[in-house]
Amino acid sequence: MAKGSRKSPSAWAQLNGRWQITGSNATYIGPNDPSSPLGLCLSSLPLRSGTVGVQARLSEGAIAARIVIGRNAATGTYYSIGLGGYDSAYVLSLFTPGRGWQAQEVGGAQAQLSTNREYDIEVRILGQRVSLDVDGVRIFQVALPSPLQGDQVGLLHGATDKLCSTTFTRQQTSQMFLSSCSSANLMTAYTGK
C-alpha cells in the first residue's frame, strides 16, 4: 500500500449485532438474535475510489468476514466483499433491504478456508471496477452494474459467538483497515505500513 497520512475513524455506527466501540476500534461481540448471526458496523471514513484492506483470522464456526463498501445511507444498499458465504471461500454480494443478499461473484469452496490463520484481504475500487485480492493473489475483478451509490465503508462479520477487532486507517489516495478475529481472545489490532 502507498504510504500517506493516516486517519482513524472519529465515530462508528452499529447497525446490526453487538459491537464494543473503543476509540477507533470496533469489536464484534455477537449477534443480537442467534437466528441472525451477522454483524454490521460502519466507520466514519468515506470511500468511493481507492483501496480497502483487512487482515482477518477466521474462527471455528465463522460465517463471513467481509468489507462493506458503497453503503448508501438513504437506501441501506451496500456491497460486501471478502471471505465466506454461499458455500464459497470468496464472495462479492449485494445487499438490498427488502430483497436480501444476492451473490454477484463467488469463488472457491468455503471448506478450503482455514481457521486460526490470518488472511490479507484487499479490495480495490476504481469507478465501477472492483477487485478482490487475498494474500496477494487476485481472486476476481468485476465491473459493477453501476457506480457505487454510497461512500460508507465498514465491516460485516458473521458468527454466533466470535470476537472481531478492527482498526481503520486512511491514506492519501487509499483507505485501509485491518481486522483480527479470534474465537477465544481479542487479538491485538494494528495498522499496516
Output the pLDDT for position 9: 63
Q: Is residue 66 pLDDT above 50, yes or no?
A: yes
Closest Cα to residue 63, out of 41, 82, 44? 82
Q: Is residue 175 pLDDT above 70, yes or no?
A: no
pLDDT band at 141; cut points 50, 70, 90: very high
Q: Helix (H, G, I), strand (E, B), or coil: what is residue 172?
A: coil
Its pTM surpasses 0.85: no
- Residue owning grid cell 454477484: 104
Output the pLDDT for position 120: 85
Q: Are 1 and 50 in contact (CB under 8 A)?
A: no
Output the pLDDT for position 54: 75
Output the pLDDT for position 115: 78
Closest Cα to residue 167, out of 41, 25, 3, 7? 25
Residue type, 145: P
**Domain 12-180, CATH number (from 2.60.120.200, 1.10.730.10, 3.90.1150.10, 2.60.120.560):** 2.60.120.560
